[in-house]
Amino acid sequence: MSFLAPLFMLGALAIAAPVIYHLIRRTTRERTVFSSLMFLLPTAPRLTHRSRLEHILLLLLRCLALGLLALGFARPFLRKTAPSAAAAGQSQRIVVLVDVSASMRRAGLWADARERVAAVLRKVTPGDQVAVFTFGRQVSPVVSFEEWRNALPDERPALVATRLAATVPGWEGTHLGNALIRAAEALSDADAELKLAPGPRRIVLVSDLQAGSAFDSLQAYDWPKGLEIQVEPLKARNPTNAGLQLVADSPDADAQAVPAVRVRVSNAADSTREQFRVGWALAEGTEFSGPAVDAYVPPGQSRVMAVPVPANTAGLQRIVLRGDDEDFDNTVYVMPPEKQQLNVAYFGGDAADDTHQPLFFLERALPNNPHLSVKVNVHTPAAALSPVEERDTKLFFVTEALSPGVAAQLREQVLAGKTVVFTPKAAAAAPTLAQLLAINDLGLENVQPANYAMLAEIDFQHPLFAPFADPRYSDFTKIHVWNYRRVKAAAIPGARVLAKFDSGDPALLEIPVGKGRVLALMAGWNPEDSQLAVSSKFVPLLYSMLELGGGLSAQSTQISVGDPIAIAAGTDPVAAVAVGLPDGTTATLPAGAPAFAQTQQPGIYQLNLGSRTLRVAVNLDAAESRTAPLPADQLERYGAPGPQPVVDTAREARREALMQGAEAESRQKLWRWFIAATMAVLLFESALAGWTARRQAGSVTTGGITP
Amino acid sequence: MIASAHSPGLSSTALIDPRALMSIRNLELRARVVVEGFWKGLHRSPYHGFSVEFTEYRQYTPGDDPRYLDWRVYARSDRYFIKKFEDETNLRCHLLVDQSRSMGYGSTGYTKSQYAATLAATLAYFLHLQGDAVGLLTFDEQVREYLPARHRMGHLRQLMHALEKPAGGRATNLTTPIERITGLVRKRGLVAYVSDFLAPIEQLEPSLLALTACGHEVTVFQVLDPAELTLNLEKAAMFEDVESERTIYIDPVLARKEYVPRIEAHCAAVRAMCEKLGISYHRLATDQPLDLALFEFVQGRMRRGRLSRPAARSHA
């Protein structure tokens, strides 16, 4: 029999109490009335001689009750021989995650990290399986389980040290959540791949645990059982770290008297400095080019300030922050966005200022801002496209019947991959649509619903309506339609109905023609037909059309390290693209690749797309500047199996044995029997003591008051 | 009922075993048993009244009561003489009986209080038989009952009845009854003071002095239980003071060594005080025969009478 709380056995020492109690002459039980205590002095209780030990049976019962009680409190259990994993010397699976995010570039941190990894590996037994990963935004293996296994036990730490020595912290953000999940998955996979018996699994996280780490992916993650995360936090030598980030231009940027770039200076919560200077510079370490701005930022706060653009901006691409201990996040690269020019052709006989015609609304709804300018070229139905227009225009709006020559020209454009939005004002335009689609008979008729028609059965899966898929934006019932054209969708081969009227007639069809497409909108947005032009859906719908067919690309010139540089649709290069990296080297983007993903360092990237050069500024992740350490329990808050202190195996074995004992004890509950036995003994003792006392009371006569 | 002799003076006299005596429930009967088995008391009154027994003549002085002029002597001698007689009925005896709680203790099968009541009843009966007036004053921490000294039919029974009342008081105040009796009884007489004197006696001496100064003849009976004198109890126990209810642990075997000298010293102090004041002192253990006490009382009175007679005469 074993005991879960053997210290309670000390309670058995209380057996001495009844023995002493029995040895002491009973004083309190007997009372003698005496005439006067004037001449009496109190005497101390004295022990009787051993031979006068009274009531042996009572004494034994009391001792037995105390002993049983102590045994019960010691929580006895019968140990089943189930050797614990640690006791059996079972091998552990360990993944060492080493942070190589940009914040690890701070002074001394990387050396500390390597030292910490070496210390962890020193405690590893030859039977343990270890893999070492580095992580920033992505997780990369340094030494896999397979490599660890193949290396000789003596050479394994050296292998890891060599590989780590060849690694330097990058410029990426810290996606700690992803890294932990990846490590947990690697541990699970290792069990299956290496065909190992289930054993303890551990993730050792060597990181500076900065506040800017991304954890969000951990929220919904279901951690595997038996996994433990051991955190090896690294402490920076210089607490002060201020960071610099670009702030998006305000809408009224053009209205500024002096052109300026707005930047945010943020200071870490544990910083010791508050005064910084911000200005343009040609290169690292050089003086400011032009006037610098003083920034006063208390620790833990951030300030947004405008840095004026100097008159001579040639070669000026970076804004730097001075006055900070750690300079890894003190530079932002600025690349002013390129203004994209799009051309749209409109075929119709409308006057530009006629508020009852579609053109009036189209010209006002299409955007014209610093990033994008859409020009509407208005054509009469008979006017043909010039060659320049044929080249530059990607989206055509047709509202009236076109002359056969123009219609044929448009069909060629569509076949070449362009998009025509056909929205007839009347059924008379049916021959133009038929010509565009190369169909003989297209029954088109005017319909005027009794009350009004509404849009229904909208295909939110289609890219055109995808922006409205959210239930907050999917209500089209406020757009009333008074006139529309009825077309038989079945009569058009390959037509896809994207929206219907509530009468069941198609409202918007997409008909692929050659490489391009025709979008047939059966009700115009002019006030005679519908309320579409005055609804909130109109402008987003036009944007969707521009994106779908008009060559509008969401090209950004400011991205973070690790983000891919997307190459706009429609400009897909046929040949490989040479990419100029910030460090002066050149990489090659293979032909047909949609984006350049190897943006692993901050700076200006130049993509030679043939007709033009795409210049993109890649900057550090803004969160990387938040270098204050995380609260110790942050990982546990996200449900991670908490950071547990490193324990030696003997202690672990004891703990394991204790856990098993506790489990066995809670299952067996032997203490109940001991307590029950104690109660029984006490009952018997009470009965015996009562009987003894009554018997004595009957026989003892002492002096007293006689009434 | 007959016990062996206890006193050298009564060696030939059979005495009554107090245990047997106390088994008689009626107090008056107990008193009668003691008195009847005793020789008729002999004592003299300190007063010279006008009674049957002529003692002497005395020349008349102005202020004497003219009723007592012996006209025959005047007729014969033409001089005024006053006749003087032995005053046999004018002894006024007051019994002061302690009925405090401490008197309720008894280890012999009866209490000190019962013993003291029997003693007082015996004395009262004895004096009553002699035609003396007997009064009673019972007390504890205050005076409980007072019966003036009388000699009439029924008074003795009333007195017995008062003695039989159970002790109700708690503490003992030894001086209050003396002060009260000093104030109440103007005429000189006999005062028998029955108590265990188990209380501080510092204040007792001035009171007794005042009492004796008034001309009273005082006899003190200190009634104690044998256990109080020797502490011959067996078991260690929590001892509770019957009056203060204070409780302490006492092992008699250990405590006896200290206790006996202390109580003896206390008794000696009482005795010394009595001797100093000319008061006859009798210590009675409750296992002593009562007729012995009566004998000592009478003997003491006779001795005292012989001693005090000349003084009394000159006084008269």
User: Is the pLDDT confidence value at B148 over 50?
Assistant: yes
Q: Which residues of B162-201 are buried (b: 16+ CB within 10 A; e: fewer)?
A: bbeeebebeebbbbbbbbbbbeebeebbbbbbbbbbbbee
Count of domains in chain B? 2
CA A698 – CA A414 distance, rounded (Å): 124
Q: Which residues of A86-95 are buried (b: 16+ CB within 10 A; e: fewer)?
A: bbeebbbbbb
Residue type, A201: R
Q: Across residues B136-158, what is the average pLDDT?
A: 88
Tell me which residue in A27, A32, A39 faces B262 most closely, judged by beta carbons. Answer: A39
Between the two ends of chain A, the Cα-to-Cα distance in Å is: 62
Tell me which residue in A30, A41, A707 faces B238 most closely, judged by beta carbons. Answer: A30
* Strands A586-589 vs B237-241: parallel, antiparallel or unpaired: unpaired
Question: What pLDDT, on the 0 to 100 scale, is given for residue A453?
Answer: 92
Residues of B in contact with A40 (CB under 8 A): 239, 248, 250, 255, 258-259
Domain shared by B237 and B127, yes or no: yes
pLDDT tens digits for B210-267?
988 888 889 999 999 998 888 888 777 888 888 888 888 888 888 888 899 999 999 9
Widest CA span of chain A, in angstroms?
145
Question: What pLDDT, on the 0 to 100 scale, is given for residue A648?
Answer: 60
Based on its alpha-carbon atoms, the radius of gyration of chain A, rounded to whole angstroms, reads 42
* Residue B267 DSSP one-character state: H
Q: Which residue has the higher pLDDT, A194 or A416?
A: A416
CA A79 – CA A81 distance, rounded (Å): 6
In 3-state terms, what secondary structure has residue A106? coil
pLDDT tens digits for B109-137?
888 999 999 999 998 988 888 778 899 99
Q: Which residue of A has its CA nearest to B242?
A: A35
Question: What pLDDT, on the 0 to 100 scale, is given for residue A520?
Answer: 92
Domains and CATH numbers, chain A: 2-74+669-699 (no CATH), 93-235+629-654 (3.40.50.410), 242-334 (2.60.40), 340-549 (3.40.50.880), 560-617 (no CATH)
Q: Which residue has the higher pLDDT, A409 or A656?
A: A409
Distance from CA of B266 to the nearest CA of A (A): 9
Question: What pLDDT, on the 0 to 100 scale, is given for residue B87?
Answer: 52
Widest CA span of chain B, in angstroms?
83
Tell me which residue in A28, A32, A37 faces B246 most closely, judged by beta carbons. Answer: A37
Question: What pLDDT, on the 0 to 100 scale, is given for residue B307?
Answer: 45
CA A167 – CA B142 distance, rounded (Å): 109
Domain shared by B199 and B71, yes or no: no
H or E element in which residue A690 lies:
helix A670-699
Answer yes or no: is B237 within a domain.
Answer: yes
Confidence of residue A256 (pLDDT cuts 50, 70, 90): low
CA A194 – CA A191 distance, rounded (Å): 6
Instruction: Specify whether the CB–CB gap between A203 and A183 falls below 8 A.
Output: yes
The single residue listed with the structure tokens 């059982």 is: A225
Question: What pLDDT, on the 0 to 100 scale, is given for residue B53?
Answer: 56
Domain shared by B228 and B286, yes or no: yes
Q: Which residue has the higher pLDDT, A569 or B75?
A: B75
Domain shared by B160 and B309, yes or no: yes
Phi, psi of A109 (to 5 degrees): -70, -40
Question: What pLDDT, on the 0 to 100 scale, is given for residue B72?
Answer: 87
Q: Across residues B149-178, what is the average pLDDT?
A: 84
Q: Which of A277, A284, A276 is nearest to A317 (CA)?
A: A284
User: Is the pLDDT confidence value at A699 over 60?
Assistant: no
Instruction: Specify whether the CB–CB gap between B304 and B243 falls below 8 A.
Output: no
B112 touches chain A (CB under 8 A): yes
User: Is the pLDDT confidence value at B7 over 70?
Assistant: no
User: Is the pLDDT confidence value at A134 over 90?
Assistant: yes
Q: Across residues A519-541, what is the average pLDDT?
A: 91
Domain shared by B123 and B66, yes or no: no
CA A437 – CA B286 distance, rounded (Å): 146
What sign does the CA torsion over B9, B15, B21, B26 have?
negative
Q: Across residues A285-294, what is the average pLDDT?
A: 79
Cβ–Cβ gap A35/B266 under 8 Å: no
Q: Which of residues 87-106 of B touch A (CB under 8 A)?
A: 101-106
Cβ–Cβ gap B254/A43 under 8 Å: yes
Mean pLDDT of chain A: 82
**Which segment of A185-189, A494-498, A590-594, B109-113 scores lowest on mean pLDDT?**
A590-594
What sign does the CA torsion over A149, A151, A155, A160 have?
negative
Instruction: From residue A141, give the alpha-carbon distance in Å to each of A96, A147, A207, A224, A560.
Output: 10, 10, 16, 21, 23
Residues of B in contact with A35 (CB under 8 A): 101-105, 112, 196, 198, 225, 228, 241-243
B239 touches chain A (CB under 8 A): yes
Q: Which residue of B has its CA nearest to A36?
A: B241
Interface test with B, best of A30, A31, A40, A49 (most B CBs within 10 A): A40
Question: What pLDDT, on the 0 to 100 scale, is given for residue B13?
Answer: 45
ipTM of model over 0.95: no
Tell me which residue in B240, B254, B258 faces A33 most closely, judged by beta carbons. Answer: B240
Question: What pLDDT, on the 0 to 100 scale, is given for residue A52?
Answer: 59
Instruction: Specify whether the CB–CB gap between A350 and A401 falls below 8 A.
Output: no
CB within 8 Å of B183: residues ≥ 6 apart = none
H or E element in which residue A143 lies:
strand A139-143
Instruction: Specify whether the CB–CB gap between A465 and A458 falls below 8 A.
Output: yes
Q: E strands, A524-638, where? A: 558-560, 565-566, 577-580, 586-589, 595-596, 603-608, 613-619
CA B225 – CA B103 distance, rounded (Å): 9
Confidence of residue A83 (pLDDT cuts 50, 70, 90): very low
Domain shared by B107 and B176, yes or no: yes
Give A324-340 as a DSSP string. -S--TT-EEE--PPPPE
Answer yes or no: is B49 within a domain.
Answer: no
Question: What pLDDT, on the 0 to 100 scale, is given for residue A481?
Answer: 93
Q: Which of residues 157-196 of B touch A (CB under 8 A)?
A: 166, 196
Cβ–Cβ gap B247/A31 under 8 Å: yes
* Full 3-state SS string of A272-303: CCCEEEEEEECCCCCCECCCCEEEECCCCCEE
Taking phi over 0 as left and psi of -120 to 50 as alpha, with beta for the rest, A560 belongs to beta
pLDDT tens digits for A313-348?
666 778 888 888 888 888 888 877 677 788 899 998
Q: E strands, A602-669, where? A: 603-608, 613-619
CB half-sphere exposure, A99, CA atoms < 13 A = 32
User: Is the pLDDT confidence value at A687 over 90?
Assistant: yes
Question: What pLDDT, on the 0 to 100 scale, is given for residue A519?
Answer: 92
Domain shared by B250 and B115, yes or no: yes
Question: What pLDDT, on the 0 to 100 scale, is given for residue B224?
Answer: 93
CB within 8 Å of A390: residues ≥ 6 apart = A409, A413
Chain A interface residues facing chain B, Cβ-Cβ under 8 Å? 25, 27-28, 30-46, 700, 702-703, 705-707
Q: Which of A270, A355, A339 is nearest to A533 (CA)?
A: A355
User: Is the pLDDT confidence value at A286 over 90?
Assistant: no
Q: Across residues A523-547, what is the average pLDDT?
A: 90
Question: What pLDDT, on the 0 to 100 scale, is given for residue A570?
Answer: 53
Tell me which residue in A25, A39, A702 faces B263 most closely, judged by beta carbons. Answer: A39
Cβ–Cβ gap B240/A32 under 8 Å: yes
Answer yes or no: is B117 within a domain.
Answer: yes
pLDDT tens digits for A102-131?
888 888 889 999 999 999 888 888 888 899
User: Is the pLDDT confidence value at A704 over 50?
Assistant: no
Confidence of residue A628 (pLDDT cuts 50, 70, 90): confident
pLDDT tens digits for B15-68?
778 888 888 878 888 887 877 776 544 444 444 444 455 667 888 888 888 888
CA A492 – CA A489 distance, rounded (Å): 5
B25 touches chain A (CB under 8 A): no
User: Is the pLDDT confidence value at A692 over 80?
Assistant: yes
Domain shared by B234 and B141, yes or no: yes
CA A178 – CA B290 distance, rounded (Å): 113
Structure tokens at A652: 């672990």
Please provide the size of chain B in residues: 316
Tell me which residue in B103, B235, B262 faces A30 most closely, judged by beta carbons. Answer: B235
Residues of A in contact with B235 (CB under 8 A): 30, 32, 700, 702
Instruction: From residue A354, give the alpha-carbon distance in Å to each of A427, A479, A526, A538.
Output: 21, 21, 10, 18
Q: What is the dihedral of CA A616, A619, A621, A623, to 10 degrees?
A: -130
Instruction: From residue A66, give the alpha-carbon distance in Å to each of A9, A18, A676.
Output: 10, 9, 13
Domain shared by B129 and B275, yes or no: yes
Domain shared by B64 and B24, yes or no: no
Answer yes or no: is B223 within a domain.
Answer: yes
Structure tokens at B98: 């302690």
User: Is the pLDDT confidence value at B200 over 80?
Assistant: yes
User: Is the pLDDT confidence value at B11 over 50?
Assistant: no
Question: What pLDDT, on the 0 to 100 scale, is given for residue B90?
Answer: 62
Cβ–Cβ gap A37/B244 under 8 Å: yes
Residues of B in contact with A39 (CB under 8 A): 258-259, 262-263, 266
Residues of B in contact with A706 (CB under 8 A): 104, 106, 110-111
Q: Which of A496, A485, A280, A289 is nearest to A399 (CA)?
A: A485
Question: What pLDDT, on the 0 to 100 scale, is given for residue B316?
Answer: 32
CA A559 – CA A574 distance, rounded (Å): 25
Domain that holds residue B80: 54-85
Tell me which residue in A28, A46, A705 faces B104 most closely, judged by beta carbons. Answer: A705
Residues of A in contact with B222 (CB under 8 A): none
Domain shared by B191 and B76, yes or no: no
Residue B173 maps to which CATH number? 3.40.50.410
Cβ–Cβ gap B251/A702 under 8 Å: no
Question: What pLDDT, on the 0 to 100 scale, is given for residue B65?
Answer: 81
Instruction: Specify whether the CB–CB gap between A397 and A425 falls below 8 A.
Output: no
Residue type, A248: A
* Strands A393-398 vs A419-422: parallel, antiparallel or unpaired: parallel
Question: What pLDDT, on the 0 to 100 scale, is given for residue A483?
Answer: 92
Distance from CA of B249 to the nearest CA of A (A): 5
* Residue B136 DSSP one-character state: E
Domain shared by B197 and B60, yes or no: no
What percent of chain A has a predicted confidence (pLDDT) above 90?
16
